[in-house]
Amino acid sequence: MREIVLDTETTGFDADKDDRIVEIGAVELLNHLPTGRTFHVYINPERSMPNEAFEVHGLGDDFLRDKPKFAEIAQDFLDFVADDAKLVIHNAAFDMKFLNAELRRAGHPTLPWARALDTLAIARERFPGSPASLDALCRRFGVDNSNRELHGALLDSEILAEVYLELIGGRQPDLVLDRPGQEQDVAATDRSTVRRAPRPTPLPPRLTDQEATAHQDFIAKLGDGAVWARYQ
């Protein structure tokens, strides 16, 4: 199963007017494991950068002036996400709206909304009433985001990939590793407290006599050093 963890930075909040994407970062996962393949590009938004947006990501007019326009990188982006991957995004409605607005302007097909998997929605469902920002989830799961002084699409995608794997059960809830200098902030409600008593009467074996005999014959052929022999 192929997934793309994705983030964008923009000039503002209104994709339907004149706000534009200025950065895209994406990380490829295959069967929930990072493959090492990434996509990262800065984009000339063809407009000036509002100060409010600059304070979020630090991408200014001088830096972006010589970067490619979205139309110039659109096909490379579409080739990377292809049509076989889920798009894992935090607050997916925001990024999908911007990406599809840019794709329409560039004359490309838009991305189906069904491809988006929203980690913000997953977090709110798992932890109702708790903060669900990316920073809050990093604190909850012990994901290191100390390099995240400003928003950056590729860095945020890499961090989100770790958070996403925790959200879907990538680590057992009560397995918390002590890392030097790292604060552990795992809520008690995340830990399993259920303890089941052993059955008063063990379940009967499901092996038939014929299957048990065949197994014994197989072990005998392996010799005295066979691992199975330790469990007889």
Q: Give the torsion sign (CA, 211, 213, 217, 222).
A: positive
Dist. CA 156–CA 151, nearest whole Å: 7
Q: What is the mean pLDDT of residues 8-35?
A: 96
What is the reported pTM? 0.72
In this prediction, residue 182 carries a pLDDT of 41
Catalytic annotation present for 151: yes
In this prediction, residue 226 carries a pLDDT of 61
Return the structure tokens found at 97: 């709206």
3-state helix, strand, coil in the chain (%, to 5): 40, 15, 45
In this prediction, residue 57 carries a pLDDT of 94
24, burial (CB in 10 Å: exposed 0-12, middle 13-18, buried 19+): buried
pLDDT 10s digits, 169-216: 864 443 333 333 444 343 333 433 334 455 566 656 666 777 777 777
Active-site hit among 32, 40, 108, 151: 151
pLDDT 10s digits, 56-99: 999 999 999 999 999 999 999 999 999 989 999 999 999 999 99
Angle between helices 92-105 and 119-126 in degrees, nearest 10: 170
Percent of the chain's residues with pLDDT above 70: 78
Q: Quick one: which of 99, 175, 164, 98 has its CA closest to 132?
A: 164
